[in-house]
Amino acid sequence: MAGLDSQKSASNLSTPNDKEGEYHGPDIEKQPTKDETYETREAARRYPETDLSRGVIGWDSQEDPQNPQNFAASKKWALLGLISAFTFISPLASSMFSPALVYMAAEFHETNETILSFTVSIFLVGYTFGPLLLAPLSEIYGRRVILSGANWFFVVWQIGCALSKNIETLIVCRLFAGIGGSACITLGAGVVADLFPTELRGRATSIWSLGPLIGPVAGPIAGGFLGEEVSWQWVFWVLLIASGAMQLAIEVLNQETYAPVLIRWKTAKLAKELGRTDLQSAYDVGRESLSKAQVLKRSLVRPALLLFKSPIVLLLSTYMALVYGLLYLFFTTISDVFTSTYGFTVGLSGLAYLGIGIGFFVGLVIIALTNDRIVQKLTAQNGGKFEPEMRLPTMIIFACILPISFFWYGWTAEKHVFWIVPIIGMFPFGVGMMGVFMPIQTYIIDCYPAYAASANATLTATRSLVGAFLPLAGPAMFQALGLGWGNSLLGFLALAFVPIPIIFTKFGKQIRERWPANLETKKAK
């Protein structure tokens, strides 16, 4: 009851356009009026205050320490670090099995190359369906409980993979492991939006995204040596141990960060303490009253609404999916090229992925150090008004760097040039991919901060679907065209998409504002 005095004295949150005495709840996806800025709407979303006289429950004040936006910097980065750690393990599992595939094929007497490739890529099919369910659920029940349940789901299915007695069982187990493992990939965007203001989101997104991009590269390195020296089953036992230990730490140290859920809990607590039935969360003010079933239904269709009602989300998702598919087409050739052409062992062939991996790391550092600074500079030049499209200009440079690798790697491998040359040739792709992915993900978070998890689910699902099935065509394509022309075809395709970032940068704001994806459920007037 001690906090009630401060709640009683807390004033309404009002914006420059509010009429005196009128309370406005956070209208998150509303398009800005003439006098309204992005920062005004962001402030209304982050800091709705309590007004007991009107039955509205929000934060005690804009400095309320319970608001995740006001957590100490060390606490924010620690919470993000927890998510990022598991975000490394899950993508690690997507590719860690690929070098050991030959040993599994020998044990199960499987010779169909498409089925063998599908055993690896089925994990990404789980990444397609998992986000569409888990992201909306996190916006109903909170990040913590959904992340915890999904992570344990991922951990348990590693046992099924390790104990599989046939390839059909292994495929099913990897599918379910992928569904569980998609939670950290999806909800991390929501946690970034929950904790960090606009000016820090570029750096936060870079740190969180380190796992999803480094994991698939580190996986083959570890998996190759495990399969060669122990057995292919030990790939999954190691994943079980690592993911189980990490999830135990997350279980103990993690906490809820989604503001609407925290205020809902606070509202229920105060209603019980004060014996009042009229209290309402500030995040629900102005919204249509829905049953739990209706809320769940509308939440589950939200990622689809974003994809099909927002052209900018559709275009960015398509572009990310293309780049992600190119990455996994790259992966289909690396192990075979360095074992058959250069005589590497299965274990050593995994080290060839370091070319892409180092490129990822360099690209990540560049984006982390420059993206927020560029945004701050452009905001100042724009009279202090931030626009999400300010994240996108650097994409143009990185999109031009990305195609270089296909010509460099393809033709040097085709001509059997010394092995270090094609490995170095993968480096530009790694840099370019990071320079494309990071701005897009941060842009989506900035556009839809209240529904960052659902927006990121759209990106994750589309790119994972392409990443799962496009590489199945890889062996046939490279067999028909060879490494040189096969990779050149991919390079020309990447070049054809270079104008897309230019279009996003120049016309992104007009597209976003002309076709807004209104995700709120408003009360009928």
pLDDT at residue 10, rounded to an integer: 36
253: which residues sit within 8 A by CB, 6+ positions away? 78, 82
CA dihedral 171, 176, 182, 183 (to 10 degrees): -170
Q: Which helix (H) or strand (E) holds 56?
A: strand 56-57
pLDDT at residue 289, rounded to an integer: 66
Which residue is it, tokens 């190691």?
A: 238
74, amino acid identity: S
pLDDT at residue 45, rounded to an integer: 62
Is-contact 235 159, C-beta < 8 A? no
Which tens digits make up the pLDDT trace of 192-224? 889 988 888 888 888 887 777 778 778 877 787
CA distance 72 to 261: 20
pLDDT at residue 2, rounded to an integer: 37
By C-alpha distance, which of 437, 178, 492, 451 is closest to 317?
Answer: 437
pLDDT at residue 51, rounded to an integer: 75
Residue 146 has pLDDT above 90, yes or no: yes
User: Percent of the chain beyond pLDDT 90?
Assistant: 23
CA distance 330 to 430: 11
Segments making up each domain of the chain, as ranges: 68-256+300-514
Which tens digits make up the pLDDT trace of 159-177? 999 999 999 999 999 999 9
State whether residue 165 is helix, strand or coil.
coil
Q: Which helix (H) or strand (E) holds 57?
A: strand 56-57
Q: What are the distances in angstroms from CA 9 to CA 53, 61, 270, 333, 357?
A: 10, 10, 16, 66, 54
CA distance 85 to 107: 33
233, amino acid identity: Q
What is the number of residues in the chain?
525
Is-contact 511 311, C-beta < 8 A? yes
Q: How many CB atoms lie under 10 A from the CB of residue 495?
A: 16
The pTM of the whole model exceeds 0.85: no
pLDDT at residue 525, rounded to an integer: 44
Which tens digits make up the pLDDT trace of 28-82? 344 444 445 555 555 566 677 777 878 888 888 888 899 999 999 999 999 998 8
Is-contact 103 227, C-beta < 8 A? yes
DSSP structure class, residue 59 = B
- What dotted CATH number matches 68-256+300-514? 1.20.1250.20
Chain centre distance of CA 41: 24
Which tens digits make up the pLDDT trace of 363-392? 988 988 888 888 889 888 888 888 888 888
pLDDT at residue 34, rounded to an integer: 43
CA distance 303 to 131: 9
Place 520 in a pLDDT band, splitting at 50, 70 and 90.
low
CA distance 30 to 50: 22
Q: Which residue has better confidence, 288 or 455?
A: 455
Q: Which helix (H) or strand (E) holds 281?
A: strand 280-281
SS (H, E, C) 76-141: HHHHHHHHHHHHHHHHHHHHCCHHHHHHHHHHHCCCCHHHHHHHHHHHHHHHHHHHHHHHHHHHHH
Which tens digits make up the pLDDT trace of 291-307? 667 777 777 777 888 88
Which tens digits make up the pLDDT trace of 260-275? 999 999 999 988 888 8
